[in-house]
Chains A and B, each alone.
Chain A
């Protein structure tokens, strides 16, 4: 660390230039999207498009709500996401705990059966799953949106790994005190697993908020549609005024983006954990 000559400085400078240049390319689309969403219609059709609007038209954002029930899409997305997160975290942590810390016949075999689910993409079972929803009468319902997506092999796997790092001494002590396994899970393991649960919860939130294909298939009216589908619907209506379309796209992403940037650390932890398969 002594020889910090000019070549060191040049290297640093090049590194900054590389990261800044490439990094700006990564967020440029967001700036374009915000700038364009505020343009009045006539400014959209310029062969030399400007970054910022000459005349800012905030009404584009209001117009979105006139064209589609955007509030409903928002509330549906929030509700469905919260339900999926609670469901996934609870169900996966229960099973993860049992697979990590309880002995029962067939445990390893059942766990391997679950792991198969990690390898198979959702799309491969989407058609029969849709047929099942039809049999249940769950098409265009909240339960149809939520329930099929709350059973996560990945979550069981991730949380089992985490529970295995918690020393079994706690469990043994609590069992001697007369606690049953559910109490051990609820009072000891869940609180200790808070960082892992948060990381997993954030991943599920992100996935759920952005999910499109299942919501597209299982919903048929606007009362039950979520933001991703709503945006696609709006795209079908709104073929000329791109500013309104981009205003909707921004409203669907930017709030959650800001929230997620606050929790970046947990989210990155979660993603890093997911790479440790």
Chain B
């Protein structure tokens, strides 16, 4: 793939510059640049091929096999895909993932927009507030999960203790799937809103002040300005955040692994990536794990393509 057969040593030795050398054939100089180009991208392209393209192709082939790492892979044709369609565990993990993703995406991009709007004013302590929202973005998800697991503790955790002061009997957050969604959602929002806020703030900086001034002269209040200027001009940012939030919440693993596992037997709330991990690295069903990865990929591609199609209707690029 890399055409490195031309020796480049000649170009490495610095030569004294001679008058008239500019007349040297341009073709040679071009070719030298091209060789350098290939040389400089070589580390990246080799690594990318080895650790990304190759695994990609391999995973396609492996999805037609059964392989437990112990013996040679056995060709099983479409068996893995057939199993995928009947697999209730897969359906459960997909349902859980979607149940987490949809509210997460919607709430994340809404809450962070309001925070960014509030911060995009000439307000005192602006940077201090921004830091407060930003801190969770920096935190290791495994550590976050450890802390929140304790906060959610049904008997000794502060959340249920707080609810108890209002006379509410708090649920076993991480044992009942219907509450686990809520519990995980809160942690995801807590950790994700600060990132979106930063992106929004960058987007808001890009909206010319005159637009608002003109609108104010026309007597437009906050909501009119928000609806007719801010939101339309932010649509590219919103679109970007939508895609990011979607991909991120489809990949949730750390939180599930730490917060919902009951000793080593499994989780009360398997997500798609958790199920891939379990099949691949606990049950060592490599062929099926790879098939699940393809399902994840296919779902993400479908979502992304749909988003890109829909964006023509609502995203305004200037």
Residues of A within 8 A of B (CB): 12, 15-16, 18-20, 22-24, 26-27, 29-30, 32-33, 36, 44-49, 91-92, 94-95, 97-99, 102-105, 107, 110, 113-114, 117, 119-132, 134, 147-148, 150-151, 153, 156, 177-178, 180-182, 185, 206, 209-210, 212-213, 216-217, 227-229, 231-232, 235-236, 242, 245-246, 248-250, 252-253, 256-257, 260-261, 264, 267-268, 271-272, 274-277
Q: Is the CB of B129 within 8 A of A23?
A: yes
| CB closest residue in chain B, given A151 | B47
- Contacting A at CB under 8 A, from B268-313, are 273, 276-277, 280-281, 286, 289-290, 293-294, 296-297, 300-301, 304
Q: Which residues of B contact A182 (CB under 8 A)?
A: 36, 39-40
Choose among B38, B43, B132, B150 the residue that contacts A246 (Cβ–Cβ < 8 A). Answer: B150
Measured CB to CB, the nearest residue on chain B to A25 is B190
Give the size range of B's interface with the partner. 35 or more
Q: Is B147 an interface residue (CB 8 A)?
A: yes
Q: Which residue of A lies closest to B123 (CB)?
A: A15
Tell me, yes or no, whether B185 is within 8 Å of chain A by CB: no
* B interface SS class: helix
Residue of A nearest to B293 (CB): A124
Q: Which residues of A contact B35 (CB under 8 A)?
A: 104
Asked if B51 contacts A47 (CB within 8 A), the reply is no
Main secondary structure of the interface of A (DSSP, over half): helix
Task: Determine if B203 and A275 form an interchain contact, defined as CB atoms under 8 angstroms apart.
Answer: yes
> Besides the contacts A129-B55, A212-B253, A276-B202, what 14 more A-B pairs have beta carbons closer than 8 Å?
A15-B118, A16-B125, A95-B41, A98-B36, A98-B40, A103-B33, A125-B56, A128-B62, A130-B280, A131-B286, A181-B37, A182-B39, A236-B263, A272-B198
Residues of B within 8 A of A (CB): 11-12, 14-15, 17, 30, 33-41, 43-45, 47-48, 50-56, 58-59, 62, 69, 115, 118-119, 121, 123-125, 129, 131-136, 138-144, 146-148, 150-151, 153, 155-158, 161, 164, 190, 193-195, 198-199, 201-203, 237, 240-241, 247, 250-251, 253-254, 257-258, 263-264, 273, 276-277, 280-281, 286, 289-290, 293-294, 296-297, 300-301, 304
